[in-house]
Amino acid sequence: MLTIREVTELTGIAAPTLRYYEKEGLLPHVKRNENGKRLYDEDDLSWIHFVTALRATGMPIAQIQKYVYLYKEGDSTISERKMMMLHHKKEIEKSIRELYFNLDKINYKLALYDVIESQIERTNIKI
C-alpha cells in the first residue's frame, strides 16, 4: 500500500489532483487507514493512469464519472463501457488527424522559409 505522497512521487500527479479525482468518484477503490489517510494499491494506480489518460485526451470529468458508475454496476455494463471507449477513441483519432493536418501546414511554411533563406543567402554572396 502506498501513501498519497508516494503516489505523487511515482506518478507525478499532484496530491490535490488525486484528492479531487477521489472526491469526484473517479477512483472507485481508494482505501483509508485507521487515521483516515488514503492508501493506494496497484488497482488504484491502474485507475489513476487510466483516468489521467482519459483526461489528457479530452474526456470530460462527467463522462469519466459515468464510466466509473457503469464499472461499479458490473459486467452487465461492459457493452456500454466499450461503446464509450470506442466513441472516445474516434474523437482522439479525429484530433490526431487535425493535428497532423495543421502540422503539415506548419511544415509547409517552414519549407518556404528554408527556400527564401537560401535565396537570400545566394543573392548576398558577392565574389
pTM: 0.81
Q: Cβ(24)–Cβ(61) under 8 Å?
A: yes
> Does residue 1 surpass a pLDDT of 60?
yes
Q: Supply the pLDDT for residue 118.
A: 86
Alpha helix segments (H runs only) across the chain: 4-11, 15-23, 42-56, 61-73, 78-124
Average pLDDT over residues 87-100: 98
Average pLDDT over residues 42-66: 96
Q: What is the percentage of the chain residues whose pLDDT exceeds 70?
A: 96
pLDDT for 27-53, tens place per residue? 999 999 999 999 999 999 999 999 999
